[in-house]
Amino acid sequence: MKLSTKGRYAVMAMVDLTRNSDGSPVALADIAERQEISLSYLEQLFAKLRKGGLVRSVRGPGGGYLLAHPAESTRISDIILAVDEPIRATRCAPGSPSGCRSNKSRCLTHDLWEELGNQIHLYLSSVSLADVCARRILGTSGVIEHQPSVPAQATAPSAVAAQ
């Protein structure tokens, strides 16, 4: 599963906004420059974020954007959903009783991918903007050491008893 630039850039911009706002509005041009994102693309994303109630705009000189809610209560999943980025790993339409195959049946691994999408949504719902800014991300990304898998027979009680 791949998250599109829409979702990734929206999260990057919101984290930038959170880190660079001292209570005063932050200009999109400044975010665009710092994050190396097209200003016109950010304008489209922030229109959706504003419509979703995550940011508020301030017009005029010194204007820009502010968070509509505290960073502690703004969830990453809210940002991604506000820019119309679906959080799912199946090809099927969300909530559809029919599958994505030509005969409308579900593929053999549908439930696996459906649950993966649910887990991704749960994880992103558990992380706030404040967590990202403070580097309090849950999990062990980059820390897990891969160990060679042990065949199931080698760990079975009969295999241990035979040794």
Give percent of the chain above pLDDT 70.
72
For the cut 50, the answer to whether the pLDDT of residue 8 exceeds it is yes
**Higher model confidence: residue 29 or residue 163?**
29
Residue 150 has pLDDT above 60, yes or no: no
What does the pLDDT average to over 111-122? 85
Does 11 score more than 90 pLDDT? Answer: yes
**Is the CATH code 1.10.10.10 the one for domain 5-133?**
yes
Across the range 76-104, mean pLDDT stands at 75
Dihedral, CA atoms, 72, 78, 80, 81, nearest 10 degrees? 180
Q: Which residues pair with 66 in a beta bridge?
A: 56
Whole-number Å distance between alpha carbons of 43 and 29: 9
How much is the pTM? 0.75
